[in-house]
Amino acid sequence: MVNVQDIMNKIEEFAPLSIKMDGDPTGFQLGDREQIVNRVMTTLDVRPNVVAEAIDKKVDLIVAHHPIMFHAAHNLDLASPQNQMYRDLLSHNISVYAAHTNIDKAHGGTNDWLMEELGLKNVRFLDENDDYSIGRMGETEKPMDLVDFAKMVRDAYHLSNLRYVKSDLGQKVHKVAIIGGDAGKFYPEVLKAGADTFITGDVYYHTAHDMMANGLNVVDPGHHVEAIFIKEMANILNDWKRSNKLELDIVQSEVDTEPYNFL
């Protein structure tokens, strides 16, 4: 038998909490660390429909990428959908753990998974002086037109569409940086690393102008591409289960938490 703490220890062996970004509420979120776990569910987000799925599947522990509590609750009024969700989790004895920026920075973590999907060459840390750099750099086989590269990203991540920004210099795509999620603020580091193209999500209007003016192409596939976590975290836990001959069910959430619809 394994408990919540055992699974937390395994995840943190792969992605230590010590490497998370400052202020990131990564780690144990809710529940009982000593609770025996028979079934784990991996998910990108913890939303009311994900909790309903966990209850239906008789899950004991949810392992999410995004923390359930980015901001402190100001009250426990059950009129709030967020508070209702906490109640449902606690009343069904479901614990929640989040592996966020620690797994983004970990070797073989989120940004490596996203880079692998693109098949880029010469993959390395964005900051080669940092053993746990937040981003990754890679190179295309040969320089590519930005539109062709954006289509490649779209297809690799199985998207119906994405946004892209062409730099004022109009250069080809060859040296590519990637940081999953909302990472437009890191564009100065991306430029310093010598990238001509930056893949990240949630790029803001004025930040896009700044990147254009500084000679950086941008491909914005959205935040939800981090849903790759669902499959890859399940793989990590299944490998651990097999190597230790554990009686533990690992299931992957089937709920789509992408909030946006596109015409």
222-245 residue pLDDT tens: 999 999 999 999 999 999 999 999
Q: How far is Cα 174 from Cα 146, in angstroms, rounded to an integer?
A: 10
**99: how many CB neighbours lie within 10 A of its CB?**
28
Is 71 among the annotated ligand-binding positions?
Answer: no
Is 104 among the annotated ligand-binding positions?
Answer: yes
Q: How far is Cα 218 from Cα 16, in angstroms, rounded to an integer?
A: 30
Buried b (16+ CB within 10 A) or exposed e, 27-40: bbbbbbeeeebeeb
What CATH homologous superfamily does 107-222 map to?
NIF3 (NGG1p interacting factor 3)-like (3.40.1390.30)
What pLDDT is attached to residue 131? Answer: 85
Residues 97, 29 contacting (CB under 8 angstroms): yes
Is 128 among the annotated ligand-binding positions?
Answer: no
What pLDDT is attached to residue 178? Answer: 99
Secondary structure of residue 173 in the 3-state scheme? strand
What pLDDT is attached to residue 130? Answer: 87
pTM comes to 0.95
Give every residue of the chain whose pLDDT is below 70, as ranges: none
Domain boundaries, the chain: 2-100+226-252, 107-222
Is 226 among the annotated ligand-binding positions?
Answer: yes
Residues 133, 109 contacting (CB under 8 angstroms): no
Is 74 among the annotated ligand-binding positions?
Answer: no
Does the structural domain 2-100+226-252 have CATH classification 3.40.1390.30?
yes
The yes-or-no answer to whether 2-100+226-252 and 107-222 have a common fold is yes
The per-residue DSSP string of 83-121 comes to HHHHHHHHHTT-EEEE--HHHHHSTTSHHHHHHHHHT-E
